[in-house]
Structure 1
Amino acid sequence: MIQKSPFVTKEIKRLFIISLLISSVTLSCTKDSDRSNNSSESNPITVFEPVDRDFDDIKESGVLRMITFYSSNTYFLNQGIEVGFEYELLKEFARENDLAVEVIIVGAEENPFDLLNKGIGDVIAANYTITPERREVAKFTRPYNIVDQMVVYSSELRDRPQTLDELSESGIPISVRRNSSYYSRLMELNEEEYNFNIDPISDGMDTEAALFQVAEGNLVATVSDDNMYNSSNRYMEGLYPGPVVAESDTIAWAIRSNATELESKMNRYLYKHFRFSEDKDEPRRSTFLNVLRKKYFEQSRQMAQYYNPEWQYQSMGVISPYDEMIRTVADSIDIDWLMLTAMIAQESSFNPNSKSWAGAVGLMQIMPQFVDSTAYENYQELYDPMTNIRLGAGIIKEHIEHYSYIDSTEQQWAFALATYNVGPGHMADARRLTIDQNKNPNDWDAVSGSLIKLMQRRHYQKARYGFARGIEPVQYVEEIMNRYRTYQAILALTEQQQAAGFTNVLGPTFNR
């Protein structure tokens, strides 16, 4: 086991607090409220009839929309890069099916099953247990994980019960959300033979937030999935394991009840990564799934590297390490800084030393041959973050201005992004092809179809600039737009959290 130095523990705790500020109060369900049933008092389900949208429709759109919550193992931003156990598992499914992933973050007054059945999203990937109540409104895939529900104590509690009988007799308050499966399970046990002292806490506090309060000694005990406990125990001090209250909960993705083709595709994918052995004793997991589990849940060197204490996030609402630079540059030329941030994530994953096979370098992957050599005599200057951002922003600004006659700002950005990726020559060819097909050359959907057609010989041999791998700019635009919308949602949640104040997370007590 890797030892936790005081410095690492302190920094990790600080980073963790920042993530909680975004997730634990504003969202009425995160990670495991996500595990609330359809009688949740906060956000009851209102849509029971699903729209007609199956895998063929998703494939035609090119985008799989993931409904989830902002938490440390479902989905979150790490230095601007989208990560999380659920996100990475679903993204691999999307990759195998040539789909982009758009993340739909559940808002404070939204129910994920309503978002699913309305067609706003296509799959709920949020560490969901399969329950009879949920089966009434959605269908579930094969399971991809099994967890035990366990009591977790504060290490400040001296006499920690080791069995359920001892816990029942002790009268120790067990703090759980009323709309969680943990609460339901404790109530079931009380109806059977126990007398647990159940302490309802705010529905806005997710399992991570409750564990943090237990670690700090502000709560005496709570209930958590064992994988969540293992993950939290890696970077929180003050947690102590207690008895198991439920064994072998199955975790799966939720999809619309009429999405039979999507269910089949997902089940085949999940079967490759998780299935039971012949004796049904131990599940068999793929190497890929084991790597994800180790990365997010187990005490491993990968986890220690993942929570790098050098990441100096000083406030909420931080998207990337270069937010201040990006804002400064974007404001100076009057473009959307968040879209510029989404571009940098796509181009270089915020790695200032990135260099492509074609020679593009830096945060915005600038091609040296297209830069004024007299202004940048030293090639290494292009690796300077501010220099690179200024150059890239200047280029995208020129493209936006080129398409300024298009009414829609979103359409202007789509054309500008595609031009940044594939070049103005291929874009001109695609627009001419669009005109030849009696379609609107100022409509991105029409032109994106033409870009893809430029991969076909009968079309590109007539084009001035020849063959273009048109699928790449189309996916490039789609992924940046999706990421941009996700960034917007995260910042909106942050603003709501700031307006609500921090005391519910950092204070010594919570509103009951």
Structure 2
Amino acid sequence: MQNKTLVPSTIRNTVVGALSVLFISTGCINTDDVDPFVDGSTQKGLNVTVTEPIDRDYSDIKQDGTIKMITRYSSNTYFLHQGIEWGFEYELVRKFAQEHDLALEVVVVGPNENPYDLLNSGMGDLIAANYTATPERKKYIKFTRPYNLVDQVLVFSDGVEDPPETIEKVAERDIPITVRRNSSYYYRLQSLRDQGINLVTRQVPNTKDTESLLFEISNNTHSATVADDNIFNASNRYMQGLVKGPTIAKNDTIAWAIRKNANDLETELNRFLYKHFRFGNEGEDPKRSTFLNILRKRYFESGQQIAEYYNPEMSSRGSGVISPYDDLIKEVADSAGVDWLLVSSIAAQETKFNPKSKSWAGAVGLMQVMPRFSEVSNEEDLYDVETNIREGVRIIKEHLNHYSYMDSTNKWSFALATYNAGPGHVADARRLAIDQNKNPNEWENVEAALLKLMQRKYYKDARYGFTRGIETVRYVKEIKNRYNTYESILTMSESDEEGTVPGVMGLFN
């Protein structure tokens, strides 16, 4: 099963977050009882509007063949590097999806969207975002068994002289601690105040996430904030000017959030997590699987590689927003009248932008062009990036022309399926759809037929025989949804240049 990252085809151009640390909002809100939003209004609590979860459990997810992960865009949850998906949460959920033969949709929370509402309305199936299990959150969702334990630590700007070593001394010096009203940090600070520690707290709009606040701390915009120790460790690898302060909470449990009525999904997720994280005996560290330890080392403990991929201080424009080949792909695709982001999505799916790639079937180069279908006579020439892109675009353009009588959604679905499986297998699936009195010009009917062509009773009469239809179906879905992710990131990047990008909905730690 291939690696899978999908974004719903109805995504709303909402991929923001990690890069939002570039978009520093101004000002703090000095109130302890309200929940400020970008528009200046105030609401109490988590601002949940969908309180009754839809009826969607594991059996429905299996039937769809897709599990939907709600997350935020950050260096430890989910992010893109040269068009390829990374992130601790992403890789962990993807592992579950692979073991259960499911595709993975990534739903990134956008401005003025609420992850609880997305979850309970069915836009996603689990929230995976370094989520702390808090009583406030449990009013609307439930949590799986944990997969991590973290400590909450104060983080000071290096502009704070002689940083206090205890929370009591922080209170004595009236050092303001900037957090979001919806965060678990806010509730911990409130608990400390209830214990008589007179802390000064400041709240920022919910367009902030922890990484954004840490970035502002590093620039001396604020004096102090709170972060989970793993997020601090990851951020400290590429941000300058952060000073770790005292621990204010130990062993918070990090878990995935799911709908309260998703009992079977909870069972499956808990079985999976039990294999990777178990509590040890009293006084012992938790027991983690090799896979989980690899992820922890990659994203929270090791060298600079992942942090540098994500680093918001590093401009990606020199090599392109999506990949190092943005300008070239734009030029070739535009000249052919083909959407360049879809071409980029194909290249990411085929080779992860590796121009030297060669498949077991003999497809070569960035776009995995089959030499026997190419107009380029010398196979070695297909390893040239520009030549390969031109050939790939020419081939996908031919497929688009073949289905030009269809609406745009169906046309692209059929063209992508043909690029992946070849025209023969797609034609077989369309004939099978006709045999079953279905419209062969509707992708959902042909999609179902492709899956049937994996069964002998159907493929034995097909002109081109057996095909791994599930791979083609997922190929189409992944590329279309990756396109939506790329489109959102491109929109965000263009807005950044204009200085108009809002931050991410700050409901995560």
TM superposition score normalised by structure 2: 0.87
1:186 aligned onto 2:189: yes
Q: Tell me the SS of whatever aligns to 2:192.
A: helix
Q: Deviations over 1:233-271 (max 9, x none)?
A: 111222111101111111111111111111111110111
- Cα deviation per residue 1:411-445 (whole Å; 9 max; x = unaligned)? 11111111001101111111111111111111111
Partner of 2:105: 102
CA pair 471-301 structure 1, distance change in 2 beyond 3 A: same
Residue of structure 2 equivalent to 1:405: 405
Q: Which residue in the other structure is 1:14 paired with?
A: none
Change (3 A) 1:49 1:503: closer
Q: Give the aligned partner of residue 313 of structure 1.
A: 316
| 2:381 aligned partner, one-letter code | E
Query: Which residue in 2 is equivalent to 1:264?
Result: 267
* Aligned amino acid, residue 80 of structure 1: G
C-alpha separation between the residues in 2 aligned to 1:342 and 1:280? 48
Describe the SS at the equivalent of 1:297.
Answer: helix
Does 2:465 align with 1:475?
no
CA 1:310 to 1:222, structure 2 compared with 1: closer, same or farther past 3 Å? closer
- Which letter maps to 1:167? V
2:110 is paired with a residue whose SS is coil
Cα 1:227–1:22 change in 2 (3 A) is same
TM-aligned CA distance change 1:24 to 1:101, over 3 Å: farther
| Corresponding residue number in structure 2 for 1:170 | 173
Please tell me whether the aligned partners of residues 320 and 326 of structure 2 are also in contact (alpha carbons under 8 angstroms).
no
Q: Which residue of 2 aligns with 1:225?
A: 228
> For residue 398 of structure 1, what is the amino acid of its counterpart?
E
Percent identity among equivalent residues? 57
Distance 2:396 2:79 in 1: 27
| Preserved contact between residue 166 and residue 246 of structure 2 (Cα < 8 Å) | yes
Structure 2 CA distance for aligned equivalents of residues 310 and 226 of structure 1: 22
SS in 2 for 1:224: strand
Aligned to 1:32: none
Q: Distance in 1 between matches of 2:319 and 2:55?
A: 39
Partners of 2:411 and 2:502 lie apart in 1 by 42
In 2, the alpha carbon distance for the partners of 1:63 and 1:369 equals 34
Residue 143 of structure 1 and its aligned partner are, at CA, apart by: 0.8
1:277 positional shift? 1.1
How far is 1:463 from its partner?
A: 1.4
Unaligned runs of 5+ in 2: 1-16, 27-34, 37-41, 505-509
Equivalent residue for 2:449? 450
Q: Contact 1:363 / 1:385 at 8 angstroms: preserved in 2?
A: yes
Given the superposition, is the C-alpha separation of residues 504 and 470 from structure 1 closer, same or farther in structure 2, using an over 3 Å criterion? closer
Distance 2:319 2:20 in 1: 10
Query: What's the C-alpha RMSD, in Å, of the aligned pairs?
Result: 2.8
| Partner Cα separation in structure 2 for residue 280 and residue 426 of structure 1 | 59
Letter in 2 for 1:431: R
Q: Does the 8 A contact of 1:24 with 1:205 survive in 2? A: no
Counterpart code for 1:363: L
CA distance in 1, matches of 2:43, 2:386: 48
Task: Give the match for residue 292 of structure 2.
Answer: 289
SS in 2 for 1:446: helix
Q: Which residue in the other structure is 1:386 paired with?
A: 386
359-368 or 280-289, larger mean C-alpha shift? 280-289
Counterpart in the other structure of 1:235: 238
Residue 403 of structure 1 aligns to which amino acid in structure 2?
Y
Matching residue of 2:343: 340
**Normalization by structure 1: what TM-score?**
0.86
Cα distance in 2, alignment partners of residues 303 and 491 from structure 1: 21
Distance 1:485 1:310 in 2: 25
SS in 1 for 2:363: coil
Distance 1:23 1:58 in 2: 36
2:77 is the counterpart of 1:78: no
Are the equivalent residues in 1 in contact too, given 2:72–2:78 (CA < 8 A)?
yes
What's the secondary structure of 2:160's corresponding residue?
coil
* Residue-by-residue CA offset, 1:62-96 (whole Å, 9 max, x unaligned): 11111111112111111101111111111111111
Q: Does the 8 A contact of 2:154 with 2:248 survive in 1?
A: yes
Contact 2:23 2:501 in 1 (8 A): no
Distance, in Å, in 2 between the alignment partners of 1:309 and 1:172 is 27
Letter in 2 for 1:263: E
Aligned to 2:396: 396
Alpha carbons of structure 1 residues 40 and 389: separation in structure 2 relative to 1, 3 Å: farther
- The answer as to whether partners of 2:22 and 2:312 remain within 8 angstroms in 1 is no
> Are 1:426 and 2:425 counterparts?
yes
Which range moved further: 466-475 or 420-429?
466-475
| Residue identity matched to 1:452 | L
Query: Which residue is 2:9 aligned to?
Result: none
Which one-letter code corresponds to 2:229 in the other structure? D
The 3 A distance-change label for structure 1 pair 476 and 66 is same
Q: Is the 8 A contact 1:21 1:316 kept in 2?
A: no
Residue 462 of structure 1 aligns with an amino acid whose one-letter code is D
Check the 8 A contact 2:75/2:310 in 1, yes or no: no
In the other structure, the counterpart of 2:14 is none
Determine if contact 1:294/1:303 at 8 Å carries over to the other structure. Answer: no
How many residues are paired up? 476
Answer 1 or 2: higher relative contact order, Cα 8 Å, separation at least 6: 2
| Structure-2 residue corresponding to 1:323 | 326
CA offset at residue 155 of structure 1?
2.5
Distance 1:503 1:82, change over 3 A: closer
Identify if the C-alpha distance between structure 1 residues 305 and 380 changes in structure 2 by more than 3 Å, giving closer, same or farther: farther
Residue 159 (structure 2) pairs with residue 156 (structure 1): yes
User: Deviations for 1:273-329, whole angstroms, at most 9, x for unmatched residues?
Assistant: 111013264211111111111111114365477569998612798122222222222
C-alpha distance in structure 2 between counterparts of 1:388 and 1:486, whole Å: 24
Greater share of helix:
1
> Quick one: which of 366, 370, 373 aligns to 1:367?
370
Q: 1:220 to 1:276 in 2, by over 3 A?
A: same
- Residue of structure 1 equivalent to 2:117: 114
Residue aligning to 1:49: 52
List per-residue Cα deviations over 1:98-148 (Å, max 9, x = no partner).
111111111211111111111111111111111122112112111111111
Instruction: Indicate conservation of the 8 Å contact 2:21/2:215, yes or no.
Output: no
* 8 Å contact kept, 2:57–2:263: yes
Q: What is the SS of the residue equivalent to 1:126?
A: strand
- Within 5 Å, give how 1:270-285 maps onto structure 2: 270-279=273-282, 281-285=284-288
Distance 1:178 1:317 in 2: 36
Deviation (angstroms), 1:471: 1.5
Which residue of the partner structure matches residue 8 of structure 1? none
Whole-angstrom distance in 2 between the partners of 1:315 and 1:49: 47
Give the whole-Å Cα distance in 2 for the aligned partners of 1:41 and 1:348.
47
- Is 2:68–2:106's contact at 8 Å kept on the other side of the alignment? yes
Counterpart-to-counterpart distance in 1, 2:311 and 2:240: 17
SS in 1 for 2:218: helix
Aligned to 2:216: 213
CA distance in 2, matches of 1:291, 1:403: 45
Cα distance in 1 for residues equivalent to 2:421 and 2:488: 29
CA spacing shift, 1:317–1:362, aligned 2, 3 Å: closer
Q: What is the Cα deviation at residue 458 of structure 1?
A: 2.1
